[in-house]
C-alpha cells in the first residue's frame, strides 16, 4: 500500500520517519511530505496528486497546529482525495473525539505510538478488511459512529524498533550537519503542564524505556557515515533518569560504543532536569563532545515550581545553571513565568532569577494548557478553562498578575514568540558561540566571546527590567483604571518595539561576527577528543575493522544571510537517496534562528469565550507526584 506521511519539518521529523521505516518493513511504500505551516498545503496537495497514496497520515502532534492539519485534510477531500486519512501524535492521542467530530475529512486517529497500529491499519485497508478493533485506533464507521478500540501498550523493546528512515538533506547548524535522535522514550518527572506521563499511563507500558548503548551507537555511526552528521541532537524527553549511577553506566557505555565504531568528532545536544546534573556523568558527556544542554528551569519562583510540579526548588535551579556555567557548556532555558496561580510576588521572584542569570540565553512565556496534562484536568475541574481544546485560555487567579500577563502578551508578542524574534535570535547567538568554540576553535577569540556574552546579557537584562516595570504598574491602583491600563499597554508595546530594533541589530552583528570568523576557518576541526592511548585501544578492538570512512568534504559554511536557497549551493552531497515529496523548508540551509523554537504564544484574545460550566469531578485519582 502507498502511504504519504505528512508532518512538521522544523527539523527532521522523527515521528514520520519512524513510521515510514515500520511501514516499509511490512512491504508498504512510504513517502514523506513537509507541512510546517499553511504555506506548505499546496505542496502536500501536489504530493498526493503525484503519489496517489491509498492512505495519508497526518502528524498532528502540536495543539497549536491541529486546526491547520484539520483544514489540510478538509482541503484534500475538497480536491477529490478519496483514500483513508488518519492523524496521530500527542494532541489527537488525547483530543481524538474532538478532532474527529470537528473534521469529518478524517477517517481515524492513531493514539500513542504509531509504528504497530499504522502498519496494522495499512494491512487491513489493503486487504479491504473492516477496521474495528485495531488496538490504538479510533475510527469512523460507515454509519458515522466512532469505534474506540482499546489502547495499544507501548513497545517494550526499543532496540527492536527499526531506525527512522532518513530522507531530505541534513539540517546544517553553522555549517555542521545535524541529526536528530531519540535514545529513550518517557520520563520520571511529573510536571503538571506536560502530557508525557499521561501519554504513557494511558497507553500502558514502562514509564521510561531506553535503547541500548550499542543500538544508539550503531545508528550514530550510520548517521556519521552516510549523512556526515556531527551535531547529534537527542530528543529524549529527559536524557537522564536522576539515578546518577545508572546514568553514568549508560553514558560510559555509549562513549565506549561510539569509540568502538570510530565516531569521535561529534557534538551532543540534549535536555536535562536540574536534578539530573552530576559531575561524573557530565565528565563523560564532555568527553563525547557535549555542546548544549536545554536545561528545564521552567519556573523561577517557589510558587511556580510548586504549581508546575517540578519537584525541585529555586536553589536546585540555580545550582544547575552554576554547574553548567562552570563547565562552559552552552545552557539555555525557557521559563513559564505565568501560570494559573502566579502572583505578583512570584513574578518578582522569577524576574530576580532571570536578572541574576542574565548571561544564560533564555526565553519566557505563560504555561499553556495541553490536553492530557494534570494542569488541564485541574483547570477543567475548577471551571477555569476558556475556549476549547484547540487552544485553551485561562485567567490567572491573581488579578494583578493577570493584568501583567495581558500587557506582556501585547508588548512581548513579537520579541518572545516570533521564530526570528529577539529572544530566539539571542538563543541562537549563544549557540553560535559554542559551535565556534567546539568546531572552529582556531577562529575563536576572547573579543568575540566577550561581545557575544555582553550582548546576550544586555538582551536578557532589558527583558527582565521591562517586565519588572510591567509588574510594578499592574500591581498599582492605576492599573485598575481601564483607560490608564490601555495607555500603559500601548506605550509599553511601542517602547519594547523600539528597543527590539536596536537590540536585534546588536544580536545580528554579534552573530554575523561569529559566522564570519567561522567562514574564515578552512574547515571544522577534527575534534578528536580522546587520548592517543584510547585511540590505540580502538584500533586493536574487533570493531575497528569497520572504521568510519573519511569524513565528507569540508562542510560549506552558511552565507551571512543564513537563508540561502539550497539550490544555489554547490558540492552538497545528495544524502539518503530518497526524494522528499516536498523539500523540507530550511533543511539544507543553516538552521539559523530556529535553533530553538519559540514558545507557544497565548491564544489570541478572539478565542476568549465564556467559560463552559465545570465538568463533573475528575474520576481519576490525582496525579502521583513520585520523585
- Nearest by Cα to 350 from 384, 310, 382, 393: 310
- Nearest by Cα to 590 from 15, 169, 55: 169
- By CB under 6 A, is residue 9 in contact with ligand B12? yes
- By CB under 6 A, is residue 434 in contact with ligand SF4? no
- By CB under 6 A, is residue 102 in contact with ligand B12? no
- Minimal distance, residue 196 CB to ligand SF4, in Å: 4
Report the site for ligand B12 in 225-244 (rule: CB under 6 A): 235, 237
Binding partner selected for residue 110 from ligand SF4, ligand B12, none, CB under the kind-specific 5 to 8 Å limit:
ligand B12
Q: Which residue, 194 or 360, has its beta carbon nearer to ligand SF4?
A: 194
b/e burial code for range 542-559 (CB count within 10 A of at least 16 → b): eebeeeeeebbeebebbe
Number of residues that bind ligand SF4 (CB under 6 A): 11
Interface residue with ligand SF4 among 109, 121, 194, 389 (CB under 6 A) is 194
- By CB under 6 A, is residue 585 in contact with ligand B12? no
Q: Which residue, 261 or 273, has its beta carbon nearer to ligand SF4?
A: 273
**Pattern 36-65, ligand B12, x by CB under 6 A:** ---------------------xxx-xxxxx
- Nearest by Cα to 312 from 194, 184, 190, 187: 190
Place of cell 519588572: 468
Report the site for ligand B12 in 370-399 (rule: CB under 6 A): 370
Task: Give the phi and the psi of residue 179 in degrees, each rounded to 5.
Answer: -140, 150
- By CB under 6 A, is residue 198 in contact with ligand SF4? no
Interface residue with ligand B12 among 196, 220, 232, 321 (CB under 6 A) is 196
Q: Is residue 245 within a helix (H) or strand (E), and if so which, with residue range?
A: helix 244-260
Binding partner selected for residue 90 from ligand B12, ligand SF4, none, CB under the kind-specific 5 to 8 Å limit:
ligand B12
CA–CA separation, 59 vs 118, rounded Å? 12
Binding partner selected for residue 187 from ligand B12, ligand SF4, none, CB under the kind-specific 5 to 8 Å limit:
ligand SF4
**Backbone conformation region of residue 80, classed left if phi is above 0, alpha if psi is from -120 to 50, else beta:** left
Q: Is residue 429 within a helix (H) or strand (E), and if so which, with residue range?
A: helix 422-439
Place of cell 585501544: 537
- By CB under 6 A, is residue 191 in contact with ligand SF4? yes
Q: Which stretch binds ligand SF4 (CB under 6 A): 92-100, 117-125, 184-192, 312-320?
A: 184-192
Place of cell 535551579: 317
- By CB under 6 A, is residue 187 in contact with ligand SF4? yes
Do the strands 29-34 and 290-295 form a parallel or antiparallel pair, or are they unpaired? unpaired
The contacts found for 310-316 with CB under 8 angstroms, 24 or more apart, are 310/189, 310/191, 311/189, 311/190, 311/275, 311/625, 311/627, 312/273, 312/274, 312/275, 314/349, 314/353, 316/274, 316/275
- Minimal distance, residue 99 CB to ligand B12, in Å: 12
Place of cell 527492536: 160
Report the site for ligand SF4 in 212-241 (rule: CB under 6 A): 237-238
Binding partner selected for residue 191 from ligand B12, ligand SF4, none, CB under the kind-specific 5 to 8 Å limit:
ligand SF4
Report the site for ligand B12 in 73-92 (rule: CB under 6 A): 86-91
Contacts with ligand SF4, residue ranges (CB under 6 A): 187, 189-191, 194, 196-197, 237-238, 273, 296
Amino acid at each position: 500500500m502507498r502511504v504519504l506521511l505528512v508532518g512538521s519539518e522544523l527539523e527532521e521529523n522523527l515521528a514520520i520517519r519512524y513510521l515510514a521505516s515500520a511501514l516499509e518493513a511490512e512491504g508498504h511504500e512510504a513517502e514523506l511530505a513537509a507541512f510546517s505551516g499553511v504555506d506548505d498545503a499546496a505542496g502536500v496537495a501536489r504530493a498526493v496528486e503525484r503519489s496517489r497514496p491509498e492512505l495519508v497520515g497526518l502528524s498532528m502532534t502540536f495543539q497549536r497546529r491541529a486546526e491547520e492539519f484539520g483544514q489540510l485534510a478538509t482541503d484534500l477531500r475538497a480536491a477529490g482525495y478519496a483514500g483513508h486519512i488518519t492523524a496521530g501524535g500527542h494532541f489527537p492521542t488525547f483530543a481524538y473525539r474532538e478532532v474527529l467530530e470537528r473534521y469529518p475529512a478524517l477517517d481515524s486517529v492513531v493514539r500513542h505510538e504509531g509504528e504497530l497500529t499504522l502498519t496494522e491499519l495499512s494491512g487491513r485497508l489493503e486487504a479491504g478488511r473492516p477496521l474495528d478493533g485495531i488496538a490504538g485506533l479510533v475510527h469512523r464507521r460507515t454509519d458515522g459512529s466512532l469505534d474506540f478500540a482499546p489502547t495499544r501498550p507501548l513497545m517494550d523493546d526499543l532496540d527492536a524498533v527499526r531506525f527512522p528512515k532518513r530522507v531530505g538533506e541534513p539540517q546544517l547548524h553553522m555549517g555542521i550537519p545535524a541529526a536528530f535522535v531519540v535514545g529513550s522514550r518517557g520520563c520520571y518527572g511529573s510536571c503538571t503542564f506536560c502530557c508525557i506521563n499521561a501519554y504513557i499511563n494511558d497507553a500502558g507500558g514502562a514509564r521510561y524505556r531506553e535503547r541500548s548503548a550499542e543500538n544508539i551507537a550503531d545508528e550514530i555511526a550510520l548517521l556519521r557515515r552516510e549523512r556526515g552528521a556531527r551535531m547529534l541532537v537527542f530528543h529524549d524527553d529527559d536524557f537522564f533518569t536522576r539515578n546518577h549511577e545508572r546514568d553514568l553506566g549508560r553514558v560510559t557505555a555509549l562513549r565506549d560504543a561510539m569509540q568502538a565504531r570510530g565516531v569521535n568528532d561529534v557534538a551532543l545536544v540534549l535536555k536535562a532536569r536540574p536534578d539530573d546534573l552530576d559531575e561524573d556523568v557530565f565528565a563523560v558527556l564532555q568527553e563525547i563532545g557535549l555542546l548544549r544542554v536545554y536545561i528545564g528551569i521552567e519556573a523561577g519562583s517557589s510558587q511556580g515550581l510548586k504549581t508546575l510540579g517540578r519537584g525541585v526548588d529555586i536553589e536546585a535551579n540555580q545550582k544547575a545553571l552554576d554547574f553548567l556555567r562552570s563547565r562552559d557548556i552552552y545552557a539555555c532555558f525557557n521559563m513559564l513565568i505565568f501560570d494559573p496561580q502566579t502572583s505578583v510576588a512570584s513574578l518578582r521572584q522569577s524576574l530576580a532569577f532571570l536578572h541574576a542569570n542574565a548571561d544564560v540565553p533564555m526565553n519566557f512565556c505563560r504555561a499553556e494548557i495541553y490536553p492530557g496534562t494534570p494542569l488541564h484536568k485541574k483547570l477543567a475541574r475548577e471551571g477555569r478553562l476558556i475556549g476549547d481544546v484547540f487552544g485553551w485560555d485561562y485567567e490567572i487567579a491573581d488579578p494583578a498578575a493577570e493584568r501583567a500577563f495581558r500587557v506582556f502578551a501585547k508588548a512581548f508578542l513579537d520579541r518572545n514568540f516570533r521564530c526570528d524574534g529577539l529572544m530566539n535570535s539571542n538563543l541562537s547567538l549563544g549557540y553560535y558561540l559554542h559551535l565556534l568554540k567546539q568546531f572552529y576553535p582556531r577562529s575563536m577569540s576572547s573579543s568575540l566571546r566577550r561581545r557575544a556574552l555582553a550582548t546576550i546579557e544586555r538582551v536578557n537584562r532589558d527583558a527582565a527590567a521591562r517586565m519588572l516595570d510591567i509588574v510594578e504598574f499592574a500591581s498599582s491602583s492605576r492599573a485598575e483604571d481601564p483607560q490608564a491600563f490601555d495607555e500603559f499597554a500601548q506605550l509599553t508595546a511601542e517602547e519594547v518595539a523600539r528597543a527590539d530594533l536596536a537590540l536585534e541589530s546588536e544580536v545580528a552583528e554579534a552573530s554575523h561576527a561569529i559566522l564570519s570568523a567561522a567562514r574564515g576557518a578552512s574547515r571544522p576541526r577534527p575534534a578528536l577528543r580522546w587520548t592517543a592511548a584510547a585511540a590505540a585501544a580502538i584500533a586493536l578492538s574487533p570493531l575497528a575493522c569497520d572504521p568510519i570512512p573519511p569524513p565528507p568534504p569540508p562542510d560549506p559554511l552558511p552565507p551571512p544571510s543564513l537563508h540561502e536557497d539550497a539550490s544555489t549551493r554547490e558540492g552538497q552531497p545528495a544524502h539518503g537517496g530518497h526524494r522528499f515529496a516536498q523539500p523540507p523548508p530550511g533543511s539544507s540551509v543553516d538552521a539559523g534562528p530556529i535553533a530553538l523554537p519559540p514558545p507557544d504564544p497565548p491564544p489570541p484574545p478572539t478565542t476568549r469565550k465564556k467559560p463552559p460550566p465545570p465538568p463533573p469531578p475528575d474520576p481519576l485519582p490525582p496525579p502521583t507526584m513520585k520523585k
